[in-house]
């Protein structure tokens, strides 16, 4: 074919429709904001109920995760993400969704090779590189503290 691969790539980019940027950002902001407001509401209610701040945060996290798990099971969370994009993926509810979805999907392949092996297929990289980067930052902080800079 006379058209080369590079020219084809550029041409394809031209004819492929993409999501509009600003509406997407607005929806992400809206959905992310609602999730965080609900989280804050939980925390405030727990604190008003006499819980310590840390205990209140822990309960809030649990509630958010549980809600996401239930909404995933009911096939509602994917619809929220479809609308809100990163606004629904970045909060802890999105993380919970990424763990539960494979667990549900691969249940048919058994407890070990199905759920056991595949539960972290999406969340695995986040966990691995999350731990790795906090370890690196820990080493940096340790070195800086040893030299009295921090």
Is the CB of 39 or the CB of 85 nearer to other proteins?
85
Smallest distance, other proteins to C-beta of residue 17, A: 4
Residue 127: helix, strand or coil by DSSP?
helix
Question: What's the DSSP call for residue 91?
Answer: S
List contacts with other proteins (CB under 8 A). 1, 3, 5-6, 8-9, 11-12, 15-19, 72-73, 75, 77-82, 85, 88-89, 94, 97-98, 100-102, 104-106, 108, 122
Supply the minimum distance, in Å, between the C-beta of residue 85 and other proteins: 5
- How many Å apart are CA 143 and CA 59, to the nearest integer? 35
Closest to other proteins by CB, 43 vs 98, is: 98
How far is 126 from 130, CA to CA, in rounded Å?
6
**Closest distance between other proteins and the C-beta of residue 67, in Å?**
14
Cβ-proximal residues to 114 (8 Å cutoff; 6+ apart), any chain: 106, 107, 108
């Amino acid at each position: 074919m006379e058209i080369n691969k590079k020219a084809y790539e550029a041409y394809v980019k031209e004819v492929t429709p993409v999501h509009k940027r600003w509406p997407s950002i607005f929806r992400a902001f809206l959905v992310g904001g609602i999730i965080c407001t609900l989280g804050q509401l939980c925390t405030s209610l727990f604190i008003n109920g006499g819980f310590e701040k840390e205990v209140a945060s822990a309960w809030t996290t649990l509630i958010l995760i549980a809600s996401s798990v239930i909404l995933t099971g009911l096939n509602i969370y994917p619809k929220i993400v479809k609308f809100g994009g990163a606004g629904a993926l970045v909060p802890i509810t999105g993380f919970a969704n990424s763990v539960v979805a494979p667990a549900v999907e691969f249940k048919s392949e058994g407890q070990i090779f199905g759920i056991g092996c595949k539960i972290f297929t999406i969340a695995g990289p986040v966990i691995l590189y999350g731990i790795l980067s906090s370890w690196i930052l820990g080493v940096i902080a340790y070195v800086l503290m040893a030299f009295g800079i921090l």
